[in-house]
Structure 1
């Protein structure tokens, strides 16, 4: 039987593009067997032979964990459990998709809520049912061709070598006018991740000279905000929203700029508007709840946290913060009973000593805010005992919250030590120093707090300087060992982390390749990227480390190989 004209045309285009669809591996995700069969037949008309199927989000995640797919066709609404949005979100965050993988979101959903929710996680296309074979094959071919341009760049990105990836974007843009704008957009984003804000600004402004793209204007706004010019950033974000009320990233950035200026009410209003447009974003609902709680808008905070729990039930973005936030709301509503049930649920759904610690903090705050000071004091005593047993200190926000509670229930020594630990871990962060001072002031320890802050900063500086001195006097083994201990003592101190990575790299440069030290350096830098992404020195050190790995090609070597390959192709013609 002859294929219909649209399919013949698509097949001809695929053949011309040299795509071997038969050898690709496909995954179809849909809860209706009939739809899966229709999509399977459409792919078979391309010659596809390796086609897997999943009937639920959970089954899809299991298959994505085991196998690498070239193409995924995923329905948005998968019934009970994970939705297609959840599957895409988790697959991206867990790095389960190959850089060249094409993801087509397929759905009968036409609502703004559904389309925008899916779009925030950037599928390669969003197809509305019913789908003709011609449309499917045309969109698949278009997405596939585009993804091949980014394949090498994506590999560098997955290795977090953002500077190399940015250079590859620049080189590819010079060769491909068809994809130039997309490549420049990716280059700017990579430069921002690498901490090269000024270079990123130049890329955005180059694009804006050609056309007024909202993403480029938003990018410039982010850079201005990072440089402390929050008012100029605010104006840019508001201008983007005025032109495109569905550009959600501009709402999130606008809220941040307003929060930076202390305009929490306006930030909350912006987040509320964005949440109405796309209510299924777990991070946005969490941010809205936190802003509303800070303002004392208990009704809005409760609504946001409950929505956050609802949409996060099957999401990898599910956050324990929503449990704690809602518990705090209930404490202020004098409903400690439901608050304690929520804390029990948090311990059930999230494991780890830090969760137990945060539950105990929130429990004490709930009792204190609901006026039960006797139980609040009991929680404080239990928290103090837990703190003595913990070998690892919590992160900075948790330490600040814990110190606030302990001071409130009459404990003095433990919270003061916690705040000193926070300062040592953030010895150059004046914003945190001011927050710590406010907590000391509230506890009527203003003068003592100032002295403790000064002493803690000095301790951190002396700890780091000893390691740097060993390094500069060429005592590399001792320097590596010293900084290793310093990281154990202050695991989130950025200066110690960066200098530790630099000393490890210097050791590798001087003494030769050592796999254990390479892995240790990588672990240090990945920790930096988790707690403070977008650091310029991070990108520079990653690039230095990559050059020390045997077999790693430099950008110049890659460019030379590409030039030779293009010359060979020309000679063959």
Structure 2
């Protein structure tokens, strides 16, 4: 019995009208009645935000704007590509770079142009048959009823379905999402003992990484690469392990191998750039961040840090001695800053950080009057933004004040950073050499350690222990953003086992209301809003039982 396409909703993404029409005709002949067309990646994303599709057929090359890889990447990032949807990537080329790029975010399948209707039907039939077999699992996963999804996996495995191995993978992924690493590890071990398939080796390797068993993770990722030398994800994870184990040079070499295979992955280029900075290989870092900026123009992972890091690297080459080469470097740095200001014209923090970047260039050129004028402007911006400024924004300002020999303001800003962002180990490490108040620095470090004890207690379901630790950390750093949210979350959890909740909820709301300055661009903003909404709802419920 053939697949019934009448009730399948299809989206076709291609920048050539002729191919869109041709594909639409093929799908209509298969019986599809509801077909949407998109001539660009941006239009496709708009349509996916409004409608749910059963089948998405996307060309890889989509002209200017987002390509098919970036469309798939963004749909996954937005959580708009459900497991019930079939996503097929279509390419006109079959080079290694193109194929690996097309497969970077694991579409269900890919096809190389030209292809016949019979081949298209055969491929989609197989994919839909599998989706239908896993339908109950996928629907439970979409509704986040993971236990039900796992039960449905067990039903198919017990019935010796031909999709049993897929069910094993889904189960392991779900246990990982639930934080039940013991059970996911059992699945990976069982599968690997039978046959060391890449997904199980990768899953086990990631799990070992999370559990900080880095040496074993290193062996597993190397085992994957030994059998699949051009597997970019395995190379990415191997680089992470090498970096943690104190081998940044080896990690950089590994990432360069991954980029040779699949260079269009922005997160990989960013990782390479950051590693090259650690290794002080500025030519490699410069190329990586230039690639990141280029890819970022049409990516959901675009970030201002790529621009600012590139400017910082260019500054390393700039001297105050003049010359044509020096002028080109200065011109390039200011072009990057101009693009940054244009791309983030509505972001006041980026305006400040762009001004600081300009100051750093003028300072390097020994153009003191211009540098001072920009620093004065930056100080004024900082004063109006300091309550909502990110840790890295504050850090940039502190370093600019130090370069401008305003040591008093520099130390004031550093004190503020230690108070609010003392739990950010990377940020604190980058500032230790310019902190004069070593006692305040040690206090911030101590508060962070106490917070970590609270996190450990929380993971062990010791809510009272976690609350005590988070309260102690806030005694030392009362304005720390993460500490306040951690305490609020534990207080809310404690209300589930306490009859008189009013005091707990009041304390939680005090913690959360201190953080109302958080901007939407802050990675903690969503968590803060969710906790605030939950605390308010519980507070209203307590008042109106």
TM superposition score normalised by structure 2: 0.77
Identify the range of structure 1 (172-181 vs 313-322) with the bigger mean alpha-carbon deviation.
Answer: 172-181
Given candidates 357, 373, 380, the residue that maps to 2:352 is 357
Distance in structure 2 (CA, Å) of the matches to 1:357 and 1:294: 25
**1:138/1:357 CA distance change after superposition, 3 Å:** same
1:320 corresponds to: 304
2:57 paired with 1:78? no
**1:98/1:459 CA distance change after superposition, 3 Å:** closer
2:294 paired with 1:273? no
1:92-491 equivalences under 5 Å are 92-154=76-138, 157=141, 169-170=153-154, 173-175=157-159, 177-334=161-318, 335-350=329-344, 351-368=346-363, 379-390=374-385, 392-416=387-411, 418-420=413-415, 422-424=417-419, 431-432=425-426, 436=428, 439-440=431-432, 442-443=433-434, 445=436, 448-454=437-443, 457-458=446-447, 489-491=479-481
Distance in structure 2 (CA, Å) of the matches to 1:371 and 1:149: 69
Note the residue ranges of structure 2 that are not aligned, 5 or more in a row: 319-328, 465-472, 539-545
1:113 CA displacement: 1.0
**1:21/1:399 CA distance change after superposition, 3 Å:** same
2:467 corresponds to: none
1:571 corresponds to: none
2:8 corresponds to: 24
2:468 corresponds to: none
Question: 1:483-538, CA deviations, whole angstroms, 9 ceiling, x for partnerless residues?
Answer: 9xx99943333xx43442343355477789xxxx9xx999x9xx9xx959xx9xxx
Distance in structure 1 (CA, Å) of the matches to 2:133 and 2:360: 53
Identify the range of structure 1 (45-54 vs 170-179) with the bigger mean alpha-carbon deviation.
Answer: 170-179
Contact 2:419 2:479 in 1 (8 A): no
Distance in structure 2 (CA, Å) of the matches to 1:455 and 1:498: 16
**1:98/1:217 CA distance change after superposition, 3 Å:** closer
Contact 1:403 1:416 in 2 (8 A): yes
**1:443/1:391 CA distance change after superposition, 3 Å:** closer
1:80 CA displacement: 2.4
1:125 CA displacement: 0.8
Distance in structure 2 (CA, Å) of the matches to 1:226 and 1:201: 12
**1:377/1:220 CA distance change after superposition, 3 Å:** farther
**1:386/1:129 CA distance change after superposition, 3 Å:** same
Specify which structure has the bigger relative contact order, considering alpha-carbon pairs within 8 angstroms and separated by 6 or more residues: 1
SS of the residue 1:212 aligns to: coil
**1:52/1:402 CA distance change after superposition, 3 Å:** same
Note the residue ranges of structure 1 that are not aligned, 5 or more in a row: 1-11, 15-19, 473-482, 536-540, 549-573
Distance in structure 2 (CA, Å) of the matches to 1:107 and 1:491: 46
1:13 corresponds to: 2
Number of corresponding residues: 490
SS of the residue 1:103 aligns to: strand
**1:372/1:178 CA distance change after superposition, 3 Å:** farther
**1:93/1:225 CA distance change after superposition, 3 Å:** closer
1:110 CA displacement: 0.6
Given candidates 29, 48, 64, the residue that maps to 2:48 is 64
Contact 1:424 1:460 in 2 (8 A): no
1:34 CA displacement: 2.8
1:119 CA displacement: 0.8
Question: 1:13-69, CA deviations, whole angstroms, 9 ceiling, x for partnerless residues?
Answer: 32xxxxx41122111122233322332222222211112222222332232233221
1:423-572 equivalences under 5 Å are 423-424=418-419, 431-432=425-426, 436=428, 439-440=431-432, 442-443=433-434, 445=436, 448-454=437-443, 457-458=446-447, 489-493=479-483, 496-507=484-495
Distance in structure 1 (CA, Å) of the matches to 2:448 and 2:212: 29
TM superposition score normalised by structure 1: 0.74
Distance in structure 2 (CA, Å) of the matches to 1:27 and 1:67: 10
Identify the range of structure 1 (52-61 vs 400-409) with the bigger mean alpha-carbon deviation.
Answer: 400-409
1:452 CA displacement: 3.9
1:402 CA displacement: 4.3
Provide the aligned C-alpha RMSD in A: 4.1
1:262 CA displacement: 2.4
**1:331/1:92 CA distance change after superposition, 3 Å:** same
Distance in structure 1 (CA, Å) of the matches to 2:435 and 2:387: 28
